[in-house]
């Protein structure tokens, strides 16, 4: 049945085609753009034109989204979320300061797109909120709505959606989840949308990869995090200028020659030490995760599933052991490499997302 649906429009091809699909299906569609407010003199990272083209939520993206909305003849509003993005940036900086590897896209989806934006959509009378994520919503035999992988395995974004509150799943729409990327671009081209060949965003919305260190350091008020590079047996092999430069599993950019490949095995924020080791020392067969969010009723006892530890990694077979209501352990069948505190451990059974938590 036709419904009023608010769609988050980023100015990219995915959300643009998603908006068209909804309108073509007969829904009353309202376009919403999340304005982060970082295009200012105090945040020089967002003034680089090339960077803005790789990111999202810039003034250029707002213009693209507005043009698409006008072409589709749907209402369009740019919503000021600067305060919420400031909190997101604070989380990002604090995680690096704690020696963890943040995942702001998951936090943005949970707190902003399917949190504050959801509330805003309700305030304008929208029954549903939609995005251009590559994920699918499947109605099960019992009538419940399951979050599942997108049709395109190369673009699937179900991993970054695990934190959506379960009670809101049925109120969401992911119109492009059943399409592959090349199909989306073909639809956009047929419609004459200027964004048909626009590159996918590859940067955080509020800071580019090139400016990440500058961004973190400027917001830490000059607090230093330089320290030693040490091997797992305690030998000091060099110095580094900040732990925010590193993540567990990293090989490139260590700036130290050891005659063979070494990787970041551990980051110790108490001493600012970055611990390096060989590939076998990076292997982990167990992890603990907290702040869990479940999209199904989790079993009270251990269960079998597949667990994904990074957006670009594969979900691997494992046994999950509950540690109370919001924490769990994962025991992998085979060791995993690059298990990084601050990233998410997301549980799947086949195509369905069961839920997940933050790696401790």
What CA–CA distance (Å, rounded) separates 296 from 278?
A: 39
Q: Tell me the per-residue pLDDT of 20-66, one tens digit each, with 9 for 90 and over.
A: 999 999 999 999 999 887 754 344 444 444 444 445 567 788 999 99
Give the C-alpha distances (Å, rounded to integers) separating 150 from 30, 113, 275, 294. 24, 18, 37, 19
Q: Tell me the per-residue pLDDT of 124-174, one tens digit each, with 9 for 90 and over.
A: 999 999 999 999 999 999 999 999 999 999 999 999 999 999 999 999 999
Look over the chain and give the mean of its residue pLDDT values, rounded to a whole number: 91
Q: Is the pTM of this model over 0.85?
A: yes
**pLDDT of 148:** 98
Catalytic residues: 108, 205
What CA–CA distance (Å, rounded) separates 43 from 35?
A: 14
Contact criterion met (CB below 8 Å) for 185 and 25: no
Residue 303 has pLDDT above 70, yes or no: yes
Candidates 292, 329, 336; CA nearest to 310 is 336
Strand ranges of the sheet holding 263-268, from the earlier edge strand across to the other edge: 236-240, 227-231, 273-277, 263-268
Q: Tell me the per-residue pLDDT of 246-282, one tens digit each, with 9 for 90 and over.
A: 999 999 999 999 999 999 999 999 999 999 999 999 9
All domains in the chain, ordered by first residue: 4-197 (3.40.50.620), 224-277 (2.30.30.280), 284-359 (2.40.30.10)
Residue 101 has pLDDT above 60, yes or no: yes
């Amino acid at each position: 049945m036709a419904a009023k649906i608010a769609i988050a429009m980023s100015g990219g091809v995915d959300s643009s085609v998603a908006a068209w699909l909804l309108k073509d299906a007969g829904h009353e569609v309202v376009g919403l753009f999340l304005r982060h407010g970082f295009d200012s003199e105090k945040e020089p990272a967002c003034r680089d034109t090339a960077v803005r083209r790789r990111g999202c939520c810039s003034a250029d993206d707002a213009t693209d989204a507005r043009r698409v909305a006008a072409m589709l003849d749907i209402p369009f509003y740019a919503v000021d979320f600067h305060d919420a993005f400031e909190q997101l940036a604070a989380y990002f900086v604090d995680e690096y300061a704690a020696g963890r590897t943040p995942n702001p896209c998951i936090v943005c989806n949970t707190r902003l797109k399917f949190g504050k934006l959801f509330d805003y959509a309700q305030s304008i009378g929208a029954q549903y909120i939609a995005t251009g994520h590559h994920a699918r919503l499947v109605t099960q035999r019992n009538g419940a709505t399951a979050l599942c992988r997108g049709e395109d395995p190369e673009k699937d974004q179900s991993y970054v959606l695990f934190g959506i509150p379960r009670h809101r799943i049925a109120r969401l729409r992911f119109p492009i989840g059943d399409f592959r990327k090349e199909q989306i671009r073909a639809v956009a081209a047929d419609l004459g949308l200027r964004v048909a060949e626009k590159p996918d965003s590859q940067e955080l919305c509020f800071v580019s990869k090139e400016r990440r260190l500058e961004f973190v350091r400027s917001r830490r008020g000059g607090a230093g995090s330089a320290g030693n590079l040490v091997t797992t047996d305690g030998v000091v092999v060099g110095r580094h200028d900040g732990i925010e430069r590193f993540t567990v599993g990293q090989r490139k950019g260590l700036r130290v020659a050891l005659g063979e490949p070494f990787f970041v095995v551990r980051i110790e924020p108490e001493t600012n030490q970055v611990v390096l080791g060989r590939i076998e020392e990076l292997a982990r067969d167990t992890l603990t995760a907290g702040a869990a969010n479940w999209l199904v009723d989790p079993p009270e006892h251990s269960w079998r599933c597949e667990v994904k530890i990074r957006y670009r990694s594969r979900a691997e077979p494992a046994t999950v052991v509950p540690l109370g209501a919001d924490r769990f352990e994962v025991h992998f069948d085979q060791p995993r490499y690059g298990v990084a505190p601050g990233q998410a451990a997301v549980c799947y059974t086949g195509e369905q997302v069961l839920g997940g938590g933050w790696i401790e």
